Amino acid sequence: MEYSRLFRLDGKVGLVIGGASGIGHAAARALAAHGAHVVCADLNLEGARATADLITRDGGRAEAAQVDVVQEQSVRALFTAVTAAHASLDVAVATPGINVRKPILAYTAEDLDRVLAVNLKGTFYVLREAGRVMAAQGGGSIIAFASIRAQVVEAGQSVYAATKAGIVQIVRTLAAELGARGVRVNAIAPGVVETPLTRPISRNPEWYQAYAARNALGRWAAAEEMGGPVVFLASNAGSYVTGSVLLVDGGWTAIDGRFTPPL
């Protein structure tokens, strides 16, 4: 094994859905920096183009595409276009997610449908189409984004947490189904990350600090800190990792409580 190239992705094609901003933007840049040709896909096509342009200016290879993960046909069309343009699809990353913070008793049917459509159904469509392509070609790495909320919850997070737990189980099942065909499927479960999704919280100083104090590192993550875990799971460094949930949470789920006793 050539250890110096464990994380290299030269000659690989990676598709990042949600590549216009936040974690998807960071994942696309990280994959490209390690040699992958990256397709940055997003509902926000201009944002996806901006990410692709930035990668190109940095010396990498990238292109942009539009997709609406809520629409099954849109996801299918994206994968058809990518596989028509490239000899293989080696990495697929699914990052889109939304949250409606409400008590369960205040949740409407519209709220429920909206969160389920993006987080669970949208991720399912992406994983299914990626799985079909990679099973046929005999290999690849699929990475979905779950959350610490797949394991631990708080008031107002019911449906979001349920969708993230659902993503974990879909990932595990797909890993079991496609392992024999050389396809690895994993989930990354971040803690609190500064992204557009969490901006309503991060703008509240008390809330922001409470979350920072809750984890072992005492701070929020930057979106860029999710790039390393993505590269690990995409590359040969993670060649024997499948069906796993990689917690990237600053120790949030490892520590008990918010009080540090005198020792």
Q: What is the rounded distance in angstroms from the CA atom of residue 156 to the CA atom of residue 224?
A: 27
CB count, 10 Å around CB of 121? 19
For the question of residue 160 being annotated catalytic, the response is: yes
Beta bridge partners of 194: 222
Catalytic residue among 160, 208, 211, 240: 160
Q: What angle do CA 48, 49, 54 make, to 5 degrees?
A: 100
Instruction: Report whether 249 contacts 20 (CB < 8 A).
Output: no
Sheet holding 91-94, edge to edge: 61-66, 37-42, 13-17, 91-94, 140-145, 183-190, 245-248
**205-214 long-range contacts, Cβ below 8 Å, gap at least 24?**
210/258, 213/258, 214/252, 214/258
Catalytically annotated residues: 160
